[in-house]
């Protein structure tokens, strides 16, 4: 009898939870949503997130508030969302670092593939190799020679292990076979401030953070990591053109929710993301920053799941070959 009552109680609780999750999904969203950005305010991911969040808010009829939780290359913010209540009111906008940190970190506070639900891909942002304005070299070849000749003093800024700038910096050091001193920040927003102030020498950072500064001539640009030159930076050669063959990387961004978030909610967010990515203001601002919104077919839970899985597989051997891990 006692067992029967316990089973009955458990079944009742389970049905109640299911009912409230479904009922919640039907009225979702009925209050403010928090979107965690795992990097500092004012940086490239923050810029992308705020544009998308503003437009999604209009479509959802509820505000999406952006919260910056920077540190440890994006893993702190991702961990925060992994532990949040799975009701659709805490979501994460992260980038390629979601995949690379799975191999870079010996221990993460979350399981990358099993602690999240998927919303969709947002955009794939090219990177640029840039330097403080008064660094002498005028082209990439000159920069490589300069770096090699001054390898004990040249500093490279990044947003911590697992950040896009870290990945790109690692690729650069390995391409030119030279180890440099890296200076980690909580995001490339503050790193850019130091590059502008001349406190660090070089950085490889997303166009969403560098385009305006390059156009204004406040930093020097040596190359892009895109397959072709960018419309917004026609003077800047691709890395391949400038002598680093195969030096290509795109920083894909995506939105996630904690594991257990109802599918109706992630589907609703995905639809809203698709609307935002066609918003003329978002399209125009992305274009000014050197990037393009993902098509509808990529802004879906299934496309993101496939992307994350394949990117983890893609970067694992590269990271193992570099042999640089974080604890
Ligand atoms: N996305 C980071 C930021 O927004 C920079 C990086 O990943 O390198 O600051």
Q: How many Å apart are CA 140 and CA 262, to the nearest integer?
A: 49
Q: Is 187 in the pocket of ligand 1 (CB under 6 A)?
A: yes
CATH 3.40.50.300 fits 2-125+251-322, yes or no: no
Whether 181 contacts 100, CB under 8 Å: no
Whether 277 contacts 299, CB under 8 Å: yes
Residue 97 CA: which ligand 1 atom is closest? Answer: 7
Per-residue model confidence (pLDDT) at position 11: 45
pLDDT tens digits for 93-122? 999 999 999 999 989 999 999 999 999 999
Cα of 200 from ligand 1 centre, angstroms: 16
Q: Is the pLDDT of residue 296 over 90?
A: yes
Q: Tell me, yes or no, if the pTM score tops 0.85.
A: yes
Nearest CA to ligand 1 atom 3: 187
pLDDT tens digits for 127-181? 999 999 999 999 999 999 999 999 999 999 999 988 999 999 999 999 999 999 9
Residue 158 CA: which ligand 1 atom is closest? Answer: 8
Cα of 290 from ligand 1 centre, angstroms: 16
For CATH 3.40.190.150, list the domain ranges present in the chain.
Answer: 2-125+251-322
For CATH 3.40.190.10, list the domain ranges present in the chain.
Answer: 133-224
Cα of 30 from ligand 1 centre, angstroms: 31
Tokens at 222, concatenated: 């040596």
Q: How confident is the model at residue 16 (pLDDT cuts 50, 70, 90)?
A: very low
Whether 245 contacts 227, CB under 8 Å: no
Percent of the chain beyond pLDDT 90? 87
Q: Please state which of the four CATH numbers 3.40.190.10, 1.10.3720.10, 1.10.10.10, 3.30.420.130 is assigned to the domain occupying 133-224.
A: 3.40.190.10
Q: Is the pLDDT of residue 10 over 70?
A: no
Average pLDDT over residues 10-18: 45
Q: Is 190 in the pocket of ligand 1 (CB under 6 A)?
A: no
Cα of 92 from ligand 1 centre, angstroms: 14
> Which of 99, 159, 182 has most ligand 1 atoms within 8 Å of its beta carbon, as the pocket-test mutant?
159
Q: Is 204 helix (H, G, I), strand (E, B) or coil?
A: strand
Q: Is the pLDDT of residue 282 over 90?
A: yes
Cα of 150 from ligand 1 centre, angstroms: 26
Q: Name the pairing type of β-strands 90-95 and 33-37.
A: parallel
pLDDT tens digits for 189-244? 999 999 999 999 999 999 999 999 999 999 999 999 999 999 999 999 999 999 99
Q: Is 75 in the pocket of ligand 1 (CB under 6 A)?
A: no
């Amino acid at each position: 009898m006692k067992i029967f009552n316990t089973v009955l109680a458990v079944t009742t609780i389970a049905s109640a939870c299911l009912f409230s999750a479904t009922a919640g999904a039907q009225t979702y969203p009925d209050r403010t949503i928090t979107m965690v950005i795992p990097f500092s305010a004012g940086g490239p991911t923050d810029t992308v997130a705020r544009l998308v969040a503003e437009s999604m808010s209009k479509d959802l009829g509820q505000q999406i508030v952006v919260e910056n939780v920077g540190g440890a290359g994006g893993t702190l913010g991702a961990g925060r969302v992994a532990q949040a209540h799975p009701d659709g009111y805490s979501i994460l906008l992260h980038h390629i670092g979601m995949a690379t940190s799975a191999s870079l970190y010996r221990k993460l506070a979350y399981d990358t593939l099993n602690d999240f639900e998927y919303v969709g891909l947002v955009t794939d942002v090219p990177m640029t190799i840039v330097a403080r304005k008064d660094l002498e070299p005028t082209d990439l070849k000159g920069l490589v020679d300069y770096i090699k000749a001054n390898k004990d003093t040249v500093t490279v800024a990044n947003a911590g292990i697992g950040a896009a700038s870290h990945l790109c910096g690692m690729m650069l050091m390995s391409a030119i076979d030279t180890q440099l001193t890296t200076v980690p920040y909580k995001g490339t927003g503050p790193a850019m401030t130091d590059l502008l102030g001349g406190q660090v020498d070089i950085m490889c950072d997303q166009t969403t953070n560098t385009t305006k500064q390059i156009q204004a001539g406040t930093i020097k640009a040596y190359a892009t990591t895109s397959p072709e030159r960018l419309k917004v930076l026609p003077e800047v050669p691709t890395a391949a053109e400038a002598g680093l063959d195969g030096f290509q990387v795109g920083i894909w961004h995506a939105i996630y929710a904690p594991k257990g978030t109802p599918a109706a909610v992630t589907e609703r967010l995905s639809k809203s993301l698709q609307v935002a990515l066609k918003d003329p203001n978002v399209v125009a601002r992305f274009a000014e920053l050197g990037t393009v919104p993902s098509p509808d077919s990529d802004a879906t839970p299934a496309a993101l799941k496939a992307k994350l899985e394949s990117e983890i597989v893609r970067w694992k051997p590269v990271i193992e070959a570099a042999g640089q891990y974080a604890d």
